[in-house]
Structure 1
């Protein structure tokens, strides 16, 4: 018996055995790394569920050497604080709608150029085209790009019937990045920056009375309680991007880094497939709960197309050679 064998050893030998065992246990504990991952969206949102699955994959393939705790709904850091928290090392990894930081650098809005990439396939091509430029930009800020997952195509929500841009004049509009604020400006609406966690209250209290977002957000926030019309304009597919603090990542053993990278690729594929499978269901749910679902009128389509062309030109002017490189690579595929 092992216990009996240990008991009959001389006291000095027993101490050596116990010390060795304790050292092994402590070394294993010290090798385990724990990371915090703040995200802005609710725990039951498909983006957050995908992040949780990513964390589970990392724990499994690293043999428990790295454990990532996902903090949903802005509970650890609010949406607009997440990027800086990862950049400063206050959180090791995070997920953020990077287009919300377009005022810092317009390249972050590559995924929000109106009517450039309006399908999941096109969004994936644009993601790949932008990856070298986006990765370099994040690296310059002390972060490493891991993966991104699209939202379903953006539609317009209103509390009334809208058949042209003229019908939007003066409406209070929820903006979540510089692109959406510009849409409001060009349509005569009044933009207010509202993060996802504060959206429901903003709608309920009349702070905003319209927005451009996916069906997923509409379902998450039960917008049929406050708005009545959804126009499926498929303006663009914004992406949630997951990035890691570069120093924290570099401190991991090489095999754990490989594990994180492979899990990230799996998460990107899984999340994209889930978004595509859920997209129509979200719109159907809006309709089942009383919202009027409509295609945009010909007049509204023409108005929005003109706005898209202007915003694309403006974005290219603001981003210079890097923006051109993204668009050229996207169109070449």
Structure 2
């Protein structure tokens, strides 16, 4: 009888150990929502990030990616991660400016005019964004900019006044405010809906990157692209903090390391896309127009107004960021 009890105890202990090992080595069933198509360089970077995670964790962490807003549209992705509908998400950070004005600083036109300035602003803003995300139960993993943007129109834009009266597609608080300041009628349109919005006359102008123009085949609805370096808005990729902290320490470390690699790779991809995607627009028949001095002077004037307005909303944190950036 004693032998039987010892045998049962040993068997139970072995089963318990096996269960613990099984749980430790089990694959985390993470879902990842992004609003962009597979052709977009941000999505290609996300897929490389997932591949790095899978390799680093021996396949125990291999998130399922849902592209093009098929699982959650972009306005719902951040809340979806906070609530655990998905564990990972990617958003255009400035699209959440209504939630917190600090998220929209990179959407101020002409505040930054090249990739080096965009990197400086991102590095200075990162601690503020991380703190806000932490309070909301999510952890920032990495940020990558879009290439500099320009105007898509069917007639030349030789001055800021040429935009007056247009029906302008907007995608965040800043583009909405810009449209209002230049006398255009702003209309919020998500990236996936751009071709239909132009085709139905809902909009007839927009300002966005060449990458989005290629994604949406802008040559089908616009004749002229005028690159002006309007903004270098950033995408943020983040994870539900509870899901991240539930992972073993080595896997948490793998997530952070893969994210750092993705950020470096993403910036290189953005710089490459700035040239290659604009070239595709030209190859498909669009006129690539040179921005006139009058247009750029008008842009600078609007930018100064928008910086001042943003500072009134962003409080002490915003003033500290802008002062550090301009130092």
TM > 0.5 between the two?
yes
Aligned to 1:51: 46
- Stretches of structure 2 that go unaligned for 5 or more consecutive residues are 1-6
Contact 2:192-2:216 at 8 Å conserved across structures? no
Judging changes above 3 Å, is the alpha-carbon distance between structure 1 residues 317 and 22 closer, same or farther for their aligned structure 2 residues? closer
The structure 1 residue matched to 2:215, chosen from 220, 233, 241, is 220
Contact 2:157–2:163 under 8 Å retained in 1: yes
Gaps of 5+ in 1: 1-11
Cα RMSD for the two superposed structures: 2.0
Farther off after superposition, 243-252 or 208-217:
243-252
- 1:175: how far off? 0.3
Residue in structure 1 matched with residue 66 of structure 2 by the alignment = 71
Give 1:257's match in structure 2, choosing from 252, 255, 280.
252
Equivalent residue number for residue 4 of structure 1: none
Displacement of 1:77 in angstroms is: 0.4
Give the counterpart of 1:205 among 183, 200, 209: 200
> Is the counterpart of residue 117 in structure 1 residue 107 in structure 2?
no
- Number of residues of Structure 1 aligned to a counterpart in Structure 2: 319
1:148 corresponds to which of 122, 143, 154? 143
Aligned match for 1:132, one of 127, 131, 135:
127
Q: Give 1:287 shift.
A: 1.1
Q: Is the 8 A contact 2:25 2:60 kept in 1?
A: no
Show CA shifts across 1:225-248 (max 9, x none).
111111111011011100111111
Deviation, 1:325, is 2.0
Aligned residue among 208, 231, 239 for 1:244? 239
Asked whether the equivalents of residues 80 and 195 of structure 1 are also in contact (C-alpha less than 8 Å), the reply is no
CA distance in 1, matches of 2:201, 2:122: 35
Alignment of 1:307-318 (within 5 A): 307-318=302-313
Q: Distance in 1 between matches of 2:174 and 2:21?
A: 51
- How many angstroms apart in 2 are the aligned matches of 1:277 and 1:225? 24
1:8 corresponds in structure 2 to: none
